[in-house]
Chain A
Amino acid sequence: MKRIRGIGAVAFAGAAVLVLSGCQQGSATNSGDGGDDGAVTLQFQSLSDQPATQAAVKAIVDDWNAENSDVQVKIVQAGWDGTFDKLVTQFTGGTAPDIIHYEASSIVSFAADGYLADLTDYIDGDLKADISEGIWDSVTQNDEIIAYPSTLQSYMAFANADLLEAAGVEVPTGDSMTWDELQEIAKATTTGDAHGLGWGLGSPTAAMMSLALGFDGTFFSGEGEDASIEVGDAELAVPELVHEMTYTDKSVDPTSLTQSGSEVLASFYGGKVAMTVQGSFQATNIANDAPEGFNWVALPPLEGSEGAIQAANPQTYSVNIDSEYVEESAEFLNFFMAGDNLAQIAYADALIPSSDAARAEVEKLAADNPAWTQVLASGDGLVGPPFLKVEKYTEWKDTIATPAFQQYLANEITSEQLAAQLSDGWADIAG
C-alpha cells in the first residue's frame, strides 16, 4: 500500500510540475527581460504586412538596437486579421507584448478596459507639436493619450484609364471629384460585361462611417457611455448612393459589395470593373501586382456636400500598462515616430503620415509619383470622427452595423429599416 501511495504521490507531483511549467511558459513576467548582460528586451508586436513596410520597420528597429545596447527591441510579427481577438486573449492571459501596433477605432476598447499605459508625459514635445490636435484627439481617452498615431488611411477611387478612355470619359483631374461625377463615370463605363464600379464592401461599416463625414453624417454625438446615435439623411447619403448605383443604375458590381477590397482588385485587374474604391494603401499593391501594361490612375479625393472629408482613424502604437518598461517603450516609440522613420513606413504602406515632418519627407520621396499626389491630397480632409469617442463602438460595429449595412447593400431592407436597425441596435447595446 505504501508503495502504491508513493507512486500516486510521484505521479501527482509529476503532473503538477507539468501543469505549472506549462502555465509559466508564456507569462508576462517572462517577456520583459532576458538579455545576457542585464539589457532590457522589449517585445514589439508589429502588424505591418507589406514586405516593403516590414523591411522599413526592421531597419528602424535595427538602428535603435545598434544605438541602444541597454534597451533591445524584438519584433514579433503578427497579421491584421483577428488582431482584436488575439489582443483580448493576450491581455487577459497576461502575455501581451510591451509595444502594441493597432488602429485607433479598435484600440480604444482596450484603453477603456484599462490595459494601456497613459503616454501623455512621455511623448516628445516636438513630435506632439508636429501632429495636429484632431489626430491626437483620436487617440485620447479620458484625457489620457493612449497611443502614438502613426499613419492614416483614406478611401480613394482608382480607375482603369483604358476603360475610361474607351467609354469616352475624360479622367477627372482637379482637387476633388464629387460623388455625382463618380456616379456619372460609373454609368458611362458600364458595358455588357463590365461594371463601372467595384467596391469591396464585405465589411462595410468602416467605409460607410468614414465617408459619411463628407456629408456631415456624424452618427454619434456625446462621449463614452453617454453617446447617442442619430441616423438621418446625412448619415445615409453614401449607402443610399451605392444602393442607387447598384440597383437603379446597375453600374456597381453587386458581387463586389459582398467581397473584400483585395478580392475586388482581381476584378479590377481583369477589366471587369472600370473603377474601384479602396483604402489608399492599396496603391502600393496595385503598383506591385497589376498585370503588365495595366493603365491605372488614382482619382481625386471624393467630395461630399461638406467637402472631401473622411474619418481620421490612424494606426497606433501603444504601450502595455503591465509592461515593466513603459518608459523605455515610450522612448523607443519617440525614436520610431521621428520624421524620417515615419516617412519610410508611410511611403512603403502608401498611407498618410500623421506628423508634418514625415509628410514633408514623403512628399520628397514621392515627388514623381502621380498616385501619391492624390493619396496626400486625400489626407488633407481627414478629421477625428465622433465614433472614436464612443465606448461601445466596436460592439455596435460588429454586431449591429455590419449586418445591417450588409442587408441594405444586398437590397434586403429599405433605407428606413437600415436607419431603424442602426439606432435600435445602439439602444440595445448601450442599454
Chain B
Amino acid sequence: MSSVATKVPRQTKRVGHRARAQRREAVALVIPALLPIIIFSVIPLASGVALGFTDATLKRNAEINFIGFGNFIELLGDHRFWGSFGIGIVWAGSVALLTLVCAMALALLLNSDLRLKGLTRVLALIPWAMPPVVIAIVWRMIYNPNSGPLNGALEVFGIPGVNWLGDFSTALPAVIVVGVWSGIPQTTVLLLAGMQSISAEQHEAAAVDGAGAIRRFWHITLPSLRPIIIAVTALDFIWQFNSFGLIYVLTEGGPGGRTMIPPLFTYLEAFRNREIGYASAMGDVLVIAIMLILSLYLVNQFRQSKGSRA
C-alpha cells in the first residue's frame, strides 16, 4: 500500500510538464469546435431562459424590464396552460408507451429468421425517413372524413364514417396513432440492435431446459433489453412532449383545444400574442417539469435494478 502511495505523486510530477502542454494543445483544438456550440446553442438557450424573467414583447423597440418571478406567478394561475400541460402528458406518455409495445413486436418479428429479412427491415424504416410535415399531410388525407381511405374502408363494412380529426373524442387518439406510427422505426432499430447482442447460447440453454418462446422472451430477452427500453422510452417521452410539427399540421391544436400540447400553446403565446417573455417562462417551466418527471422515473428504475441485483 505505502509503496503505491509514494509512487503515484512522483509519477504525476514527471508527466506534469507534458500533461500541461497537452492540456494547452487540447484547449486550442477544442475552441473552434466549442465556438459554434456556444454561439448557436448556449447563448440562445441562456437568453431564452433569461427572457422568462422579463416582460419582453415583440413590439417595435420594446422596452424590456426585469420582473423577477412575475411571469411564473402568473403562469401558476393560468388554467389554460395547465390544461394544455395535461394534454401534453397524455400525448407524450401514451405515444412513448404504445411506441414501445409496437416497436417491440416489430423488432421480435424482424429478429426472427424470416424470408426477405433484408427487405422487411428496410421497409420498417421508411416512416423514419419522412419529415413530420409530410407524415402529417399524408395522415390528414387518410383521416379525411369525406374522401379518406380509412372512412372508405369502414363504409365497405357498413360502419358509418368518423370525423377523426374533427370530433372531440377521437382527435387526440387519432393524433396519438400518427405519433406512434412515426416513432416506431427508431425504437425498433434500437430494440433490434439490443436483441442481436443477446447471445444465442442463452436462448439455446433455456430451450434445452424446456422454456417456451414466451418464457424465453420474459426471462431472457426482456431483462437484457431493460437498459435500452428505459433509455428509449425516456427519449421518446421527451421528443414527443416537445414535438410540434406533427400536431401543428394535423389539427393546429383543435378541435376546441383538444390537442393543444404545450409547445403549440407556447408558440401561440409567443407568435400570436407576441408576449415573448411570458412564452419563455412557459418554456422554462416545461423544461423543469420534464426533468422532474424523468428524474422520478430514472431514480425509480435505478432503485429497482439495485434491488433486483441485491
| Set A4, A89, A113, A407: member contacting B256, Cβ < 8 A | A407
Does B203 touch A at the CB level, under 8 Å? no
Q: Is the CB of B256 within 8 A of A255?
A: no
CA distance A202 to B268 in the complex (A): 18
Cα–Cα, bound, A428→B255 (Å): 21
Q: Which residue of A lies closest to B163 (CB)?
A: A255
Check if B14 is an interface residue, CB within 8 A of chain A.
no
> Contact at B268–A398, with CB atoms within 8 Å?
yes
Residues 1-50 of A at the B interface (beta carbon under 8 Å): 1, 4-5, 7-8, 11-12, 15, 19
- For residue B17, CB closer than 8 A to chain A, the reply is no
A259 touches B32 (CB 8 A): no
A398 to B254, CA, bound (A): 11
Instruction: Let me know if A394 and B166 touch, CB within 8 A.
Output: no
Query: Which of A7, A85, A255 has a CB less than 8 Å from the CB of B271?
Result: A85
- Would you call A258 and B163 a contact (CB within 8 A)? yes
Q: CA–CA, A84 to B274, complex, Å? A: 11
The reply to whether the CB of B283 lies closer than 8 angstroms to some CB of chain A is no
Structural contact, A399 and B35, CB atoms closer than 8 A: no
Instruction: Indicate whether B36 reaches chain A with its CB closer than 8 angstroms.
Output: yes
Q: In the complex, what's the smallest C-beta–C-beta distance from B14 to chain A, in angstroms?
A: 21
Give every chain B residue within 8 A of A321 (Cβ-Cβ).
60
| Residues of B within 8 A of A (CB-CB), count | 34
Contacts known (A395-B272, A407-B168); A113 close to B32, Cβ less than 8 A: no
Are B31's CB and A11's CB within 8 A? yes
B60 with A12: CB separation less than 8 A: no
Contact partner, B255, options A85, A398, A406, Cβ 8 Å:
A406
Q: Which of B21, B24, B60, B271 contacts A84 (CB 8 A)?
A: B271
Name the A residues within 8 Å of B204 (CB-CB): none
A267 to B145, CA, bound (A): 11
Contact B32 A403, beta carbon cutoff 8 Å: no
B32 in contact with A8 (CB, 8 Å): yes
A172 CA to B135 CA, complexed, in Å: 45
Expressed in whole angstroms, the Cα–Cα distance for A394 and B268 within the complex equals: 11
Interface string of B55-86 (1 = CB under 8 A from A): 00111110000000000000000001000000
Q: Residue A365 at the B interface, CB < 8 A?
A: no
**Pair B28/A5 contact, Cβ less than 8 Å:** yes
Does residue B295 face the partner (Cβ distance < 8 Å to A)?
no
Contact status A88-B163, CB under 8 Å: no
Report the Cα distance A332→B32, complex, angstroms: 49
The one of B28, B36, B147, B272 in contact with A4, judged by C-beta atoms closer than 8 angstroms, is B28
Contact (Cβ within 8 A) A399 B166 = no
Bound together, the chains give a CA A270 to CA B273 distance in angstroms of 40
Q: Are A412 and B163 in contact (CB under 8 A)?
A: no
Q: Is A232's beta carbon under 8 Å from chain B?
A: no
Quote the shortest CB–CB distance from A114 to chain B (angstroms).
Answer: 4
In the assembled complex, the Cα of A1 lies from the Cα of B28 at a distance in Å of: 9
> Does A169 make an interface contact (CB < 8 A)?
no
Q: Is the CB of B60 within 8 A of A8?
A: no
Chain A, range 76-128, C-beta contacts under 8 Å to B: 84-85, 88-89, 91-92, 109, 113-115
Query: Given the complex of chains A and B, what is the CA–CA distance between A321 and B28 in angstroms?
Result: 46
Residues from chain A with Cβ under 8 Å of B32 in the complex: 8, 11-12, 15
Contacts of A404 in B (CB 8 A): 256
A91 partner, pick from B58, B255, B260, beta carbons under 8 A:
B58
- State whether A403 touches B257 (Cβ < 8 A): yes
The reply to whether the CB of A272 lies closer than 8 angstroms to some CB of chain B is yes
Complex contact A399–B80 (CB within 8 A): yes
Q: List the A residue with the shortest CB-CB distance to B165.
A: A258
* CB atoms of B60 and A115 under 8 A apart: yes
Judge whether A279 is part of the interface by a CB distance below 8 angstroms. Answer: no
Decide: A399 and B60 in contact? CB cutoff 8 A: no
B25 near A: Cβ within 8 Å?
Answer: yes
Interface 0/1 of B34-57, CB less than 8 Å to A: 011001000000000000000001
Find out whether the CB atom of B28 lies under 8 angstroms from the CB atom of A259: no
Contact status B273-A395, CB under 8 Å: yes
How many Å from the CB of A408 to the closest CB on chain B?
9
Inside 8 A of A270's CB, which chain B residues have their CB? 146
CA distance A202 to B260 in the complex (A): 15
A410 to B272, Cβ gap below 8 A? no
Residues of B within 8 A of A428 (CB): 80
A88 proximity list for chain B (CB < 8 A)? 58, 271, 274
Indicate whether A266 reaches chain B with its CB closer than 8 angstroms.
yes
Binding site for B on A (CB under 8 A): 1, 4-5, 7-8, 11-12, 15, 19, 84-85, 88-89, 91-92, 109, 113-115, 202, 254-255, 257-259, 263, 266-267, 270, 272, 321-322, 392, 394-395, 398-399, 402-404, 406-407, 410, 412, 428
Known: A15-B36, A399-B80, A402-B254. 17 other contacts (CB 8 A): A4-B24, A4-B28, A7-B28, A84-B271, A84-B272, A88-B274, A89-B271, A91-B60, A202-B166, A255-B163, A258-B145, A258-B166, A266-B147, A392-B273, A399-B273, A403-B256, A410-B255
22 CB contacts below 8 A, A to B, read A4-B25, A11-B31, A11-B32, A11-B35, A12-B32, A15-B39, A19-B39, A84-B272, A88-B271, A91-B58, A114-B59, A254-B163, A255-B145, A258-B255, A259-B145, A321-B60, A392-B273, A398-B268, A398-B272, A399-B268, A399-B272, A410-B255
